[in-house]
Structure 1
Amino acid sequence: MPAARQAVTMRRLPCACLLLALCLSGTAASAPAATSLHIAAALDRPAIAPVLAAFERAHPDIDIRYADLATRAVERRIHDMSRPPDVVISSAMPSQLAAANAGYAARLSGPVIDGWPARFKWRDSVFGFTFEPVVFAYRADLLPADIALDSHGALYRALTDRRPRFCGRVAIYDPARSAVGYALYQADAGHTARFWQLVSAFGQARARQVSNTRAMLTGLSEGRFVLAYNLLGAYARRYARRHPEIRIVAPRDYTLMLSRMVFVHRAAPHPEAAHKFVTYLLSGQGQRVLTRQTQLAGPPRAGTSTDRSNGTRPADQARIMPIALDAGLLAQVDPAQRRRDLAQWQARFSVPGQPGCGASGSAGPSR
């Protein structure tokens, strides 16, 4: 190549590189950066993953950042105004309602919000988006076949008449550490006064108190527990599909039904994206994904086909006992009331002089 032509070519090379860089930067600038949507949830991500994926496909400009937390940790995030989440999800219904009542939840609007069933929303700010049974789980292979565990009464009789079989191998919620466990015990106690006799039976059987359903299920699959009480049905069924030795029971005398609740934080860094997510979650499309692709089930809604049994609902619908989303839940978060409730729990769970694991029989309710 002649020296003159080589010099011209070398002079043009930086210009071409500069032009290419400008074109590339222009292309990058023309593509808007994705909005991060921060969700603080007391809900295992795999349990709701199909819904999250479907939302991101429908909104490719939104990138979900999902924090899987315990119920108490979610409560702390709600009150931490230095780094509030955009969306809050929890199964601790009293805590969610209290947060909304205290002004931490933004009021939403729109056709989907207006059309959501009244008994599954509070002041258009917090919404129950699932309807799940609270169940028993047990290891049939580790218990005699003649032990019945199909109702609260049958459970009480098993714990008292066959106590040595269960000694130290029953898992229950610790109401002091688990917000949802505390709420479920309150629902039990509100339904029947005989619940406290069952609590005493748990104490006599030296039941282990844990903080979440996951710990109960892990203990069951490992053989450390033979029975677990008041598990969230969606988790239990999903886990039992991979561990067929675990049996799931929706008690036939009554089955509590719980709704996981969602709201947009009033200080959400990305309120528009948060509003879109909650609207999608409650929409017909979102509920179909929830119902058909997860073990969760949506609330019953007139004129829709999203409600379906996930295999853990009681056959007799009259025995379903929904935990009502109303002002009655607020009493459970009153500090003085909570102290009294926990004191009553402790008194019934550990009464001095009660027979221990080595003895069967009790002065409990007539059978």
Structure 2
Amino acid sequence: MRILFLMICLWGLPATAQEVSRSFGPALATTRLLVRSTTDINVFGPVIDAFLATRPGLAIDYEQWGSNALFDLSLADCAVGRPGADVVISSGVHQMVQMVNNACAAPHVSALTTALPPALRWRDELWGITREAAVMAYNRDLVPLDDVPLTRFDLLDLLRPTASPYAGKVATYDVESSGLGYLFAFSDAREATTFGALLESLGRTGAVATCCSAEIIAGVADGTYLIAYNVLGSYAQVAAQSDPRIGIVLPQDYTLVLSRALMIPKAATHSAEAAAFLDFLLSVQGRAVLADVLLIDPLTDDASAEERPPVSETTLRPIGLSPALIVAMDQQKRAQFIRRWRENFSNQDLR
């Protein structure tokens, strides 16, 4: 009954749920691969171009979605066996694990997929294709060097004073509207004893919870926010390349590391081409292009290396693709977590 209700609701989804779309390759191509993804189209475009250069005559229609909307639509397609996307890529990897668990994915095995470490391959139906850190970004012009937070404890210290200049000037993802934001916050809650204190401090000082990486990072650059917490380092580094106002820190207490997950839906129309796309992304050539657009991050953070010691490998906390992520999708646990979040942000108009 719940799945039927979900399907009825999603048939009426507004067009704005899909953020943007673009076609790549020959306009008259007889085979068109439909890729639905949460990855910014301007970041991922060069990766698609590189793949299509190896596949003459193939075209790709790319749709950029928010993680929650992409999950809902993909789940609805799966429920009725409706051909939708040929490839789904999402930063909401807990949602992707849930879809695989719901038997929504087609398997694929190749030398490249089997070479992946177990944390980046689950049931030969879900694969991690990127390596991106959750970082703190800050405005270089407006945050004094001595104030740059290198750990979550440092951020807590900045927010502790009654008249903190950072009150109302810290931004993070809204865990209810952003699947990635929920995943990062949920991982924080399981990883560190600082989460409760940090959540309380963010709420008490009027931190802004909003939906999107681009909005948060642009706000840091123009001074709307002084610090952004738990944003994707790949997007922050892309912005920092052209805007020297943006500084980036990989937290020294621990740094979450995300691998965007790729799934080939069971009802995909072009599953062979989808598998070829996956293999390209895992190949030496594909990984080089992903590295060029910073979706595979060496995690050395050269942009702000002068402001902090290099991050240690022991500090990294990869979010692996495993059934453990299904805990984050448990309806009761998710409702409790969001209720706790809302209680701390109760005095705000979440954007």
TM-score range, shorter-chain basis?
0.7 to 0.9
Which string of whole-angstrom CA distances, capped at 9 and with x for unpartnered residues, describes residues 44-89 of structure 1?
0221222211110100121011001111121123123245100001
Cα shift at 1:38: 0.4
1:166-205 aligned within 5 A:
166-205=166-205
Give SS of 1:136's match. strand
Structure-2 change in CA distance of 1:154 and 1:49 (3 Å): same
1:200 and 1:350 in contact (8 A); partners too: no
Residue 49 (structure 1) aligns with: 45
Q: Number of residue pairs matched?
A: 312
Query: In the alignment, which residue of structure 2 is the partner of 1:29?
Result: none
Query: How far did residue 208 of structure 1 move?
Result: 0.9
* Partner-residue secondary structure (3-state), 1:51: helix
Superposed, which structure 2 residues align to 1:131-142 within 5 Å?
Answer: 131-142=131-142
Deviation of 1:321 after TM superposition, in Å, equals 1.1
SS in structure 2 of the partner of residue 166 of structure 1: coil
Q: Which runs of 5+ in 1 are unaligned?
A: 1-31, 299-306, 352-367
1:42 and 1:71 in contact (8 A); partners too? yes
Local SS of the residue matching 1:266: coil
Q: 1:173/1:285 Cα in 2 relative to 1: closer, same or farther (>3 Å)? A: same
Deviations along 1:99-149, one digit per CA (max 9) or x if unpaired, are 111111111122222222222111000001111111001113123443231
* C-alpha distance in structure 1 between counterparts of 2:65 and 2:341, whole Å: 25
Work out the CA distance in 1 between the residues paired with 2:84 and 2:275. Answer: 15
The answer to whether the Cα contact below 8 Å between 1:35 and 1:61 also exists between their aligned partners in 2 is yes
Distance 1:284-1:310 versus aligned 2 partners, 3 A rule: farther
Give the superposition deviation at 1:346: 2.3
Q: Is this contact kept in 2: 1:173–1:210, CA < 8 A?
A: yes
The 5 A counterparts of 1:207-226 are 207-226=207-226
Aligned twin of 1:130: 130
Change (3 A) 1:228 1:308: closer
TM-score (norm 1): 0.80
Distance change >3 Å, CA 115–CA 144, structure 1 → 2: closer
SS at match of 1:345: helix
Picking from 339, 342, 346, the partner of 1:346 is: 342
> Of the candidates 63, 68, 74, which is equivalent to residue 72 of structure 1?
68
Return the offset for 1:240. 1.1
The 3 A distance-change label for structure 1 pair 240 and 102 is same
SS in 2 for 1:228: strand
Amino acid at match of 2:202: F
Q: How does 1:99-114 map to 2 (within 5 A)?
A: 99-114=99-114
1:1-367 alignment runs, 5 A limit: 33-81=29-77, 82=82, 84-161=84-161, 163-291=163-291, 293-297=292-296, 309=300, 311=302, 314-350=310-346
| Displacement after TM superposition at 1:163 (Å) | 4.6
> 2:152–2:194: 8 Å Cα contact kept in structure 1?
no
Report deviation, 1:308: 7.1
Shift of residue 167, structure 1, vs aligned partner? 2.2
Which secondary structure does the structure 1 equivalent of 2:164 belong to? helix
- 2:5 corresponds in structure 1 to none
Q: Is the contact made by 1:77 and 1:83 (CA closer than 8 Å) also made in structure 2?
A: no
Contact preservation (8 Å) 1:297, 1:309: no
1:72 and 1:87 map into 2 onto residues whose CA distance is: 16
- The percentage of counterpart residues that share the same residue type is 31
The CA deviation at 1:162 is: 6.8
Contact 1:169 1:207 in 2 (8 A): yes
- Kept in 2: contact 1:256–1:321 (CA 8 A): yes
The code of the aligned residue for 1:320 comes to L
Q: Distance in 2 between matches of 1:183 and 1:159?
A: 23
Aligned to 2:7: none
Counterpart amino acid of residue 325 in structure 1: L
4+ runs deviating over 6 angstroms: none
Q: Tell me which amino acid in the other structure corresponds to 1:238.
A: V
Letter in 1 for 2:108: L
Please give the alpha-carbon distance, in whole angstroms, between the structure 1 residues aligned to 2:313 and 2:186: 22
Q: TM-score, normalised by structure 2?
A: 0.84
Unmatched tracts of structure 2, length 5 or more: 1-27
